[in-house]
Structure 1
Amino acid sequence: MGKPLNVGIVGCGKIVEQYLTNFRRLDSIDLVAVADLDPARAQAVADSYEGVRALTVDGLLEANDVDLVLNLTIPAAHADIALKAIAAGKSVYGEKPLAATTEEARQVLDAAKSAGVVVGCAPDTVLGTGIQTARKAIDDDLIGAPISATATMATPGHERWHPNPDFYYQPGGGPLLDMGPYYVSALVTLLGPVVSVVGAASHTRNERTIGSGPREGQKVPVEIDSHVTGVLVHASGALSTLFMSFDAVKTKSSNIEIHGEKGSLAVPDPNHFNGDVQLFALGAEDWETIPASAGYVDSGRGFGIADLAATPAGEEPRAGGELAFHALEVMESVLESARTGQAVSIKSTARRPSAVPLTELATTVRA
Structure 2
Amino acid sequence: MNDRPKKSLSIVGCGFVADLYMRSLAKHPDIAVTQVFDHNPARLAAFADHWKLRSAETFDRFLGNLPVGSVVINLTNPDAHFDVTHACLSAGHHVYSEKPLAMQMEHARQLHALAAEKGLMLASAPCSVLGEAAQTLAKAVRDDVCGPVRLVYAELDDGFIPQAPYPDWQSDSGAPWPAEDEFRVGCTLEHAGYYLTWLIGMFGSVRRVVAASAETLPDKSVTGTADFSTATLFFENGVTARLTCSIVASHDHRIRVFGDKGVLQVKQAWDNEASVRFHKRFVLRRRLIEHPIGKRMRLAQTTHPKVERWGAAAMNFALGPAEMLEALSEGRPCRLSSDFALHLNEVTLAIQNAGEDTGAQVMTTRCDPVAPMSWAT
Please confirm whether the aligned pair reaches a TM-score higher than 0.5, indicating the same fold.
yes
Bigger mean CA offset, 294-303 vs 148-157: 294-303
Q: Distance in 2 between matches of 1:109 and 1:255?
A: 32
Deviations 1:232-267 (A, max 9, x none): 00111111111111221344xx52111111221102
Normalising by structure 2, report the TM-score.
0.84
Task: Please state how far the C-alpha of 1:46 moved relative to its aligned partner.
Answer: 2.4
Runs (4+) of structure 1 exceeding 6 A deviation are none
Residue of structure 1 in register with 2:342 after alignment: 325
Residues 110-125 of structure 1 mapped to structure 2, 5 A cutoff: 110-125=113-128
Tell me the CA shift for residue 293 of structure 1.
Answer: 4.5
Pick which of 181-190 and 266-275 moved more: 266-275
- TM-score, normalization: structure 1? 0.86
Query: C-alpha separation between the residues in 2 aligned to 1:257 and 1:315?
Result: 33
* Superposition deviation, residue 176 in structure 1: 1.1
User: Could you say what secondary structure the match of 1:244 adopts?
Assistant: strand
Question: Hey, what does 1:165 align to over in structure 2?
Answer: 179
Q: CA deviation at 1:4?
A: 3.1
CA distance in 2, matches of 1:148, 1:198: 15
Aligned position for 2:304: 296
* Cα separation, 2, equivalents of 1:80 and 1:158: 30
Matched length: 343
How far 1:13 moved relative to its partner?
A: 0.4
Q: 3-state SS of the aligned residue for 1:195?
A: strand
Instruction: Name the CA distance, whole Å, in 1 between partners of 2:366 and 2:162.
Output: 31
- Alpha carbons of structure 1 residues 335 and 146: separation in structure 2 relative to 1, 3 Å: same
Residue 34 (structure 2) aligned to one of 18, 32, 45? 32
SS in 2 for 1:221: coil
Structure 2 alignment gaps of length 5 or more: 168-177, 283-289, 308-315
Q: Contact 1:146 / 1:191 at 8 angstroms: preserved in 2?
A: no
Q: Which of residues 160, 163, 180 in structure 2 aligns to 1:156?
A: 160
Separation of aligned partners in 2, 1:282 and 1:136: 20
Aligned residue in 2 for 1:201: 213
Q: How many Å apart are 1:17 and its aligned residue?
A: 1.2
- Residue 85 of structure 1 aligns to a residue whose secondary structure is helix
Structure 1 vs Structure 2 CA RMSD: 2.2
Check if 1:131 corresponds to 2:130.
no
Does residue 94 in structure 1 map to residue 97 in structure 2? yes
139-148 or 184-193, which deviates more: 184-193
The alpha-carbon distance between structure 1 residues 229 and 114, as it changes in their structure 2 partners (threshold 3 A), is same
Aligned-partner Cα distance in 2 for 1:336–1:51: 39
State the distance in 1 between where 2:48 and 2:352 align. 40
Spell out the pairing of 1:264-343 with structure 2 (5 A cutoff).
Answer: 264-283=263-282, 285=291, 286-293=293-300, 295-298=303-306, 300-311=316-327, 315-343=332-360
User: Is the CA contact (8 Å cut-off) linking 1:133 and 1:293 kept in structure 2?
Assistant: no
- Tell me the distance in 2 between the aligned counterparts of 1:24 and 1:165: 26
Is there any run of 5+ residues in structure 1 with no aligned partner, and where? 209-219, 360-367
Q: State the 1:181 CA deviation.
A: 1.1
Residues 124/335 of structure 1: CA separation in 2 closer, same or farther (3 Å cut): closer
Residue 230 (structure 2) aligns with: 229
Deviation track 1:218-244 (CA, whole Å, cap 9, x = no partner) reads xx1310222111100011111111111
Structure 1 residues 321, 272: CA separation in 2 closer, same or farther (over 3 Å shift)? Answer: farther
